[in-house]
Amino acid sequence: MCPTIGMTPRQLQKFLDDNGLSQRGAAREIGIHERTMRAYIAGNFPVPRPVEYALRWIASQRTPKQKVKR
C-alpha cells in the first residue's frame, strides 16, 4: 500500500459508523468539503493518510456518550 494512502472506502465508512460520525459531520470536523468525504466513501479518490489520522484523533477525543450511534 502506498504510504500516503490510508484506509479503504469500506474501512472509512465502518470507522464513521463505529464512532457515531456522519459523513457530513466528519468532513466538517476535519475541514474538508462533504463532497470530498462522499468521494472517499464512494471510492472515487483514495483516502489520504492525513484524513485517516485526523479522523482517528477526533474519535479519540470524543466521549463515549458522543459515540452513540445516531
Q: What is the mean pLDDT of residues 29-52?
A: 97
In this structure, is residue 1 part of a structural domain? no
Number of domains in the chain: 1
- Residue 23 pLDDT: 97
Scanning the structure block, which residue is given the C-alpha cell 484506509? 7
In this structure, is residue 49 part of a structural domain? yes
In this structure, is residue 2 part of a structural domain? no
Name the burial class of residue 55, with classes exposed (0-12), middle (13-18) and buried (19+) by CB atoms within 10 angstroms of its CB: buried
In this structure, is residue 4 part of a structural domain? no
In this structure, is residue 17 part of a structural domain? yes
Q: What is the pTM of this model?
A: 0.81
Per the structure, the complete domain to which residue 42 belongs is given by 9-67
